[in-house]
Amino acid sequence: MPNFILEKEHKDIKERLIKEYIKKQNNNRQNEKHIGIYVDNDEWYTNIYNTISTLVFIKNSVLNYNLLNDRFLEFMKIYNIKSNPSIFSYASIERTMKEFLKNDIILDFKFTNNFNYNFLLSAELQIPVAIGNTTDYFENCNNDYLKNTIVVNAEDNPELGKQDLLNINLTENDVVIGLAASGRTPYVLGAIEYANSIGAITGSITCSKSSDLSKVSQYPIEVPVGAEIVTGSTRMKAGTAQKMILNMISTTIMIKLGKVFSGYMVDVKTSNQKLIERAKRIIMKTANCDYEKASDTLKKSGNDVKTAIVMILLNIDKDMAAEKLNQCDENVAKIIHENLK
């Protein structure tokens, strides 16, 4: 393991701490993904909360963080984010190393007067840091290990776009959609070019005409929205336009997959009372029945909305409805159309 900045006394501490935490990880982690976010206030609360909310989508994620305020705690409670608080601010090197070693990756730290130093410290501990653009700290660095450990200026690296697709084992059966308001982001271009090279389907959504990204994508979508009200703030018009298009694409996919019938989301999972009541209303609307019929059939179906709808519309039992759904890839519309020919 490389040593970049630590003095002899701290190198010894580092080796001891690493051995301790490797042992703890092996005993206690249980496939958890530990993610560190350390900030001393929520002045930039939108960015902080956006970052934290991504943990909802990471399976078995645990947030390690320093205590902030009641609003921060309430936010994590609302989203049911598993977390480990720590009172951690202006700390010694040993204390900082102890905290960093809890994590698989660190998404943010703004808690110390040793801010720049901590990038190097995380590299020594082999804990990746993804904290935005820090190119100016490391632009003259010749150490490949350091460059690979500290994520800097990722959007300017076409090879990183390719590598990220390699890491998820992209195949010719996949579809890759590249997003770039300008249509010239190297990371996105690298990813799309690699996807093309292996035979995957590629598309793009840009807010510029005849961009580089449109030229390399098989199915380009261009939505020129004009200049932003706040110059350079592409999260406004450009980001909103791209999000609307993504909504159209994802909604169409859901319809094609049979998760929508007669304009209703029939693949709803009845995991709580609110969703059970929603499921009954969906059955009432799509099967043209009253509340009692919808409730009774939903119960008989094992709380499966699609099964209940097929049972009512075709006047069949649960087993036969389940068989028809299996034969038609769980697509209610396909079953109904085939049986009403």
For 189-245, write each residue's pLDDT tens digit: 999 999 999 999 999 999 989 999 999 999 999 999 887 777 777 778 888 999 999
Q: Band of the pLDDT at 2, cuts 50, 70, 90?
A: very low
Cα 86 from Cα 272, distance rounded (Å): 33
What CA–CA distance (Å, rounded) separates 207 from 221?
9
pLDDT > 70 in the chain, percent? 74
Check: CB of residue 178 under 8 Å from CB of residue 211.
Answer: no
Beta bridge pairs of residue 179: 205
Where is average pLDDT lowest: 9-18, 177-186, 314-323?
9-18
User: What's the pLDDT at 1?
Assistant: 44
Whose CA is closest to 4, among 153, 119, 128, 154? Answer: 119
Domain 8-152, classified CATH 3.40.50, yes or no: yes
Do 8-152 and 158-256 come out as alike in CATH topology? yes
Residue 327: both structure tokens together: 């034969």
Residue 43 CA, chain-centre distance (Å), reads 24
Supply the pLDDT for residue 5. Answer: 47
Give the contacts of 133 (CB within 8 A, at least 6 positions apart).
Answer: 152, 153
pLDDT at 175 over 90: yes
Q: Residue 167: pLDDT above 80?
A: yes
CA neighbours closer than 13 Å in the CB half-sphere of residue 116: 5
Condensed to tens digits (0 to 9), the pLDDT of residues 276-291 reads: 999 999 999 999 999 9
Q: What is the CATH number of domain 260-339?
A: 1.10.8.1080
Average pLDDT, the chain: 81
Please tell me which residue, 146 or 206, carries the higher pLDDT value: 206
- Choose among 93, 164, 180: nearest CA to 130: 164
Domain 158-256, architecture per CATH: 3-Layer(aba) Sandwich (3.40)
Domain range annotation of the chain: 8-152, 158-256, 260-339
Q: Give the Cα separation of 259 and 277 in Å (integer).
A: 18
Q: Per the confidence metrics, is the pTM higher than 0.75?
A: no
